[in-house]
């Protein structure tokens, strides 16, 4: 039958067990020394899982409209049409910051360069 050695638990399993005991109120140093993992290994694995959970919703949700100077809502789809009109033709000399100024002056939009960058990226019209 051969050599029947007991399976060693993986580090991830040890971290899960340690986290459960630590959350119940036991001292981390005691639990970790008993389980047999270092503090750095434990905290590295715990922080990695927490950052994965935090990546789901970073920041404020993206709005689907902007305003013009009269206070009327202008949808992102309409702004994308304005952008496509500006860059139509060969060799358009616009970056997203110049496009922002153009939208602010000619279409009287209240919009910042970050939103214009995001819309240009969605339209795939950014230039290096």
Q: Residue 99: what pLDDT?
A: 92
Residue 122: HSE in the Cβ half-sphere, 13 Å Cα cutoff:
14
CA–CA dist 108, 25 (Å, integer): 59
Range of the domain at 38: 11-54
Query: Has residue 114 been placed in a domain?
Result: yes
Q: State how many domains the chain has.
A: 2
Query: Has residue 115 been placed in a domain?
Result: yes
Q: Are residues 75 and 48 part of one domain?
A: no
Length of the chain: 128
Cβ atoms 81, 87 nearer than 8 A: no
Q: Are residues 79 and 46 part of one domain?
A: no
Q: Residue 55: what pLDDT?
A: 62
Q: Are residues 115 and 74 part of one domain?
A: yes
pLDDT digits (tens, 9 = 90+) for 29-80: 999 999 999 999 998 988 877 666 556 666 788 899 999 999 999 999 999 9
Residue keyed to tokens 């020394």: 33
How would you class 66 by CB atoms within 10 Å of its CB: exposed for 0-12, middle for 13-18, buried for 19 or more?
Answer: buried
């Amino acid at each position: 039958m051969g050599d029947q050695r007991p399976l060693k638990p993986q580090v991830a399993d040890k971290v899960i067990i340690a986290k459960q005991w630590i959350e119940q109120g036991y001292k981390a140093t005691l639990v970790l020394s008993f389980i047999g993992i270092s503090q750095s290994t434990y905290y590295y694995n715990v922080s990695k899982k927490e950052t994965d959970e935090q990546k789901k919703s970073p920041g404020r949700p993206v709005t689907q409209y902007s305003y013009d100077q009269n206070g009327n809502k202008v949808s992102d789809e309409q702004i994308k049409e304005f952008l496509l009109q500006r860059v139509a033709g060969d060799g358009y000399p616009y970056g997203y910051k110049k496009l922002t100024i153009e939208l602010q002056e000619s279409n009287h939009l209240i919009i910042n360069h970050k939103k214009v960058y995001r819309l240009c990226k969605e339209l795939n019209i950014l230039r290096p």
